[in-house]
């Protein structure tokens, strides 16, 4: 009975100390959390990390061993997030979150983009989850950077430099995004909207002048779209201009046959029927 009472007292004391610590004053983190975000063109890069300090220690080859996988910071693995598909060192990286590991060397560093971003440090690192590995040459600076930090420096609408600085070392690599292609896709999306609106107006016998305006706006954005030419043909047929409709319908078939993709095969029968109707109307 005495032993049981002692156990209860010990457990209560431990619980009291735990609660007191939980309710006590907060202390500064040895390696505070940090985050940096940058937009270049239509792409966002975000890096979340913990920032260790030098504190008079030997960093390279000491606190951070050479030739070993490093979390590139402290605490949890450093996470880099791309809002769009990007290119790094000539390799395509899909949008999303990744762990940013490194292997510091005396002369060269290996940078690792790894899909296992949700982990503590590099203890659960698996090489099989690497998305990309490449090497960069570190630079030595004259000044000492006490707290490790990442910097994101856009150099154009399509490129951004990612730089790590700590102690006297600086490591930089470039991230590229196909901003022009993303812009073109955006315009293409607008073209689809105009073409769909024109098609709707034809189907529902609405204002054909407005339908023609939208069909031409879509074609202005992409004259090589079989679908936009098909819609233009339908609009002109509805307006009674079969000669102009036939011109667009023939162009639609030519472009569709050249593309020979699933989208065209979905419309192929409609394009051919439209052509047949327009040719029959000539007789």
Q: 38 and 154: one domain?
A: yes
Q: 130 and 31: one domain?
A: yes
Q: 156 and 189: one domain?
A: no
In whole angstroms, give the CA distance from residue 256 to residue 228: 11
Closest CA to 42 of 217, 181, 200, 238: 181
Q: 204 and 236: one domain?
A: yes
Q: 172 and 187: one domain?
A: no
pLDDT at residue 24, rounded to an integer: 65
The verdict on residue 166 lying in a domain is yes
The verdict on residue 99 lying in a domain is yes
Average pLDDT score over the chain = 90
The helix/strand/coil state of 168 is strand
Can you give the CATH number for the domain in which 237 is found? 1.25.40.10
pLDDT at residue 189, rounded to an integer: 78
Q: 31 and 116: one domain?
A: yes
Residue 102's Cβ-side half-sphere holds a number of Cα atoms within 13 Å equal to 25
Q: 209 and 156: one domain?
A: no
In whole angstroms, give the CA distance from residue 4 to residue 27: 36
Give the β-pairing of 86-88 and 159-176: antiparallel
Residue 7 has pLDDT above 80, yes or no: no
Q: 117 and 233: one domain?
A: no
pLDDT band, very low/low/confident/very high, at 181 (cuts 50, 70, 90)? confident
Beta-bridge partner residues of 53 = 147
Residue 262 lies in domain: 180-282
The verdict on residue 238 lying in a domain is yes
User: What values do phi and psi take at 211, rounded to 5?
Assistant: -60, -40
Beta-bridge partner residues of 109 = 136
Note the pTM of the prediction, 2 decimals: 0.68
Domain-ending residue, one of 121, 145, 176:
176
3-state percent breakdown (helix, strand, coil) of the chain, nearest 5 = 40, 30, 30
Residue 142 has pLDDT above 60, yes or no: yes
Q: 127 and 243: one domain?
A: no
Q: 169 and 198: one domain?
A: no
Residue 18 has pLDDT above 50, yes or no: no
The verdict on residue 124 lying in a domain is yes
Close Cβ partners of 94 (under 8 Å, ≥ 6 residues apart): 82, 85
Domain-ending residue, one of 176, 192, 222:
176
CB 93 within 8 A of CB 81: no
Close Cβ partners of 184 (under 8 Å, ≥ 6 residues apart): none
The verdict on residue 140 lying in a domain is yes
For the chain, what is the domain count?
Answer: 2
Summarize the confidence of residues 274-282 as an average pLDDT: 90
User: What values do phi and psi take at 61, rounded to 5?
Assistant: 85, 5
């Amino acid at each position: 009975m005495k032993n049981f009472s002692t156990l209860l007292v010990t457990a209560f004391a431990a619980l009291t100390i735990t609660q007191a610590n939980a309710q006590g004053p907060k202390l500064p983190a040895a390696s505070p959390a940090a985050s940096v975000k940058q937009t270049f063109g239509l792409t966002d890069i975000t890096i979340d990390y913990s920032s260790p300090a030098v504190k008079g220690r030997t960093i390279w080859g000491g606190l951070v061993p050479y030739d070993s996988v490093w979390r590139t910071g402290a605490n949890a693995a450093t996470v880099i997030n791309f809002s769009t598909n990007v290119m790094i060192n000539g390799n395509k990286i899909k949008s999303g979150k990744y762990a940013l590991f490194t292997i510091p060397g005396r002369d060269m560093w290996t940078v690792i983009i790894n899909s296992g971003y949700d982990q503590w440090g590099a203890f659960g690192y698996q090489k099989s989850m690497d998305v990309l590995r490449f090497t960069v040459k570190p630079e030595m600076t004259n000044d000492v950077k006490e707290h490790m930090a990442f910097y994101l420096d856009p150099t154009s609408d399509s490129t951004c430099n990612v730089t790590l600085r700590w102690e006297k070392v600086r490591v930089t690599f470039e991230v590229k995004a196909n901003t022009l292609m993303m812009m073109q896709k955006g315009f293409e999306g607008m073209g689809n909207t105009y073409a769909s609106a024109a098609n709707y107006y034809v189907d529902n016998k609405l204002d054909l002048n407005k339908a023609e305006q939208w069909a031409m706006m879509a074609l202005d954005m992409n004259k090589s779209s079989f679908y936009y030419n098909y819609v233009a043909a339908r609009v002109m047929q509805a307006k009674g201009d079969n000669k102009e409709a036939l011109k667009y319908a023939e162009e639609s078939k030519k472009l569709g046959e050249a593309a020979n993709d699933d989208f065209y095969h979905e419309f192929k029968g409609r394009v051919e029927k439209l052509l047949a109707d327009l040719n029959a109307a000539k007789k």
